[in-house]
Amino acid sequence: MSSGKDSIEIAGQHVYPGESKRIEIPVARLYTDIDVPIPVHVIRGKKPGPHLFVSAAVHGDELNGIEIVRRLIQSKVKLSKGTLILVPMVNVYGVLNQSRYLPDRRDLNRSFPGSAKGSLAGRVADIFLDQIVRHCQYGIDLHTGAIHRSNLPQIRANLKDEETSALAEVFGVPVLLNSDLRDGSLRQAAVELGTRILLYEAGQALRFDEISIRAGVRGVMNVMSVLGMTRRRVRVGQVQPYVANNSAWVRATASGIVRSLKHLGDQVVKGDVLAEIGSPFGDVLDTVKAPRDGIIIGKQNIPLVQEGDAMFHVAYFSEPDEAIVENIETMTEDLSPEDGLPYSGETV
């Protein structure tokens, strides 16, 4: 809640224009009688402007976003106007346990808007909305694939909203997925509060993926540039993103050992064999085929499947385009170590 002239109040602490502050938001204590607060880093420009939050680890085992936020803090980004609220770990309990969930086994991203008297997940959701999201017109929520699943760098957002769509485009990743809001997600709750929000998905749980991290840092910086918060120029390289209107998981048609023939970022046409499923003795039991033309945006990494297991996440485009694979290569080249993005401790 805001109070006082031009100040932003988080957990009882005021942050004034031109100030940076580290704040801890108390949530519930551990039963070991120790507080586990949500750490927040606030950076304010001297002039008034947009308020943007960047959150990570809503799922506690999704670590790329923690590193993206860490590099943004380390880069000592200077705001010409507006406010940047960085939250490296929303689900601190999950991070401690290296788990997607909260200790009550609830998924925080299905527990929004939550309530002050609800479950632990509901309380964290309520506090996060009240202390962070409510201050912001814009938000970027950083995620990765689930455990043993990798995601191609992608933005999921309500692309029907013109301004959200423009921000998604400037983020600079090859695929934009126009996705419906999931019940109980941070994104849904934020949109209901009038906050425009991008969900960045890249890499896999419990791992750092350098390309995903660098694409995320650059994306956040690009969004800040177009919002006029920094004077840094937008760097999108040659990437012209492709918009997918839907996506679906292709599932295992048999149980066995997987030989993948297609990989993350591959463009596929209907009928392409994505993988062979074989027996331990070498027989091919079945092949998994692409049901439609699309691009592989997510992939299961364990080479063992039971019938029905999700194997390939394919995004479908209204008009398939040959240039998509080229775009992914361009993005990877753009993010080479010479691209001027901060590594740890480097300033920009």
In the complex, the residues that contact Zn ion under the rule CB under 5 A are 59, 62, 143
* Least distance to Zn ion, CB of residue 265, Å: 20
Q: Is the peptide bond before 342 cis (omega within 30 degrees of 0)?
A: no
Tell me the closest approach of the beta carbon of residue 62 to Zn ion, in angstroms. Answer: 5
Closest CA to 198 of 255, 143, 157: 157
Three-class SS of residue 53? strand
Q: How far is the CB of 142 from Zn ion (least distance, A)?
A: 9
The residue whose two tokens read 């670590």 is 63
CA–CA separation, 13 and 23 (whole Å): 7
Closest separation in Å from C-beta 184 to Zn ion: 13
Among residues 44 and 70, whose Cβ is nearest to Zn ion?
A: 70
Taking the complex as a whole, the smallest distance from the CB of residue 205 to Zn ion amounts, in Å, to 8
| Smaller CB separation from Zn ion, 59 or 214 | 59
Nearer to Zn ion, 41 or 143 (CB): 143
Q: Based on CB atoms, which residue is closest to Zn ion, 59 or 196?
A: 59
Query: With respect to Zn ion, which residue has the nearer C-beta, 65 or 342?
Result: 65
Work out the burial of residue 234: count CB atoms within 10 Å of its CB; fewer than 13 is exposed, 13-18 middle, 19 or more buried: middle
Closest separation between CB of residue 143 and Zn ion, Å? 3
Looking at the Cβ atoms of 121 and 239, the one nearer to Zn ion is 121
Q: SS3 of 332, please?
A: helix
The first and second tokens of residue 331, run together, are: 């993005």
Chain-centre distance of CA 106, in angstroms? 19
Task: Give the Cα separation of 169 and 243 in Å (integer).
Answer: 9
d(CA 150, CA 209): 10
Query: Rounded to the nearest whole angstrom, what is the least distance from the CB of residue 162 to Zn ion in the complex?
Result: 26
Closer by beta carbon to Zn ion, 43 or else 56: 56
Question: Which helix (H) or strand (E) segment is 237 a member of?
Answer: none
The DSSP annotation for 122-144 comes to HHHHHHHHHHTGGG-SEEEEEE-
Q: 10 Å Cβ neighbour count for 10?
A: 22
Question: Would you state the structure tokens that stand for residue 57, as one six-digit string?
Answer: 């680890």
Smallest separation, CB 219 to Zn ion (Å) = 16
Instruction: Please give the residue whose beta carbon sits closest to Zn ion in the complex.
Output: 143
Question: Quick one: 59 or 71, whose CB is closer to Zn ion?
Answer: 59
Structure tokens at 205: 């749980």
For the chain, the maximum distance between any two Cα atoms, rounded to a whole number of angstroms, is 73
